[in-house]
Copies of this chain bind each other. A is one copy, B any other.
């Protein structure tokens, strides 16, 4: 079972390297954590099979897709039927402009992170894909001036 796997210092070192750069060759990772390639390979294999290493993704310049800036919508819903909310989240994440969507507690219910071409695009997105919906009470639309992300986790 996944949760029963015990991770030692070396495992964390491997995870750190691969979170930083998933394209490192097994040989390179092995060298950086002072292991032979075969030993390192076995660990990585175990981490994958144990569900610790869940995948890896290339990062592509959004400009290549015509994105010029990002925005966020802070959304309030008038009622919270679980089914309705789940359906909404599904529809939202299916939009190509949506980078992420979070369902949260508090004054706002949903935070959507968007990638858009220009202001007109943002406008039409807001009005045609969001505002229209009857169960949305309020949308606070924000431009993202700066966004920083930690792709490498560290022990808490």
Contact = CB atoms under 8 A, between A and B. Distances in A.
Which bracket fits the contact residues of A? 35 or more
A62 to B, nearest CB: 7
Interface centre among A2, A7, A64 (most CB of B within 10 A): A64
A116 B21 CA distance: 24
A131 interface: no
Interface string A15-38: 100111111000000000000000
Interface string A95-107: 0111111111111
Contacts of A89: 146, 148
A150 B62 CA distance: 13
B56 A104 contact: no
A83 interface: no
Contacts of A77: none
Contacts of A51: 61
B99 A149 contact: yes
Nearest to A153: B65
A52 B156 CA distance: 33
B65 A150 contact: no
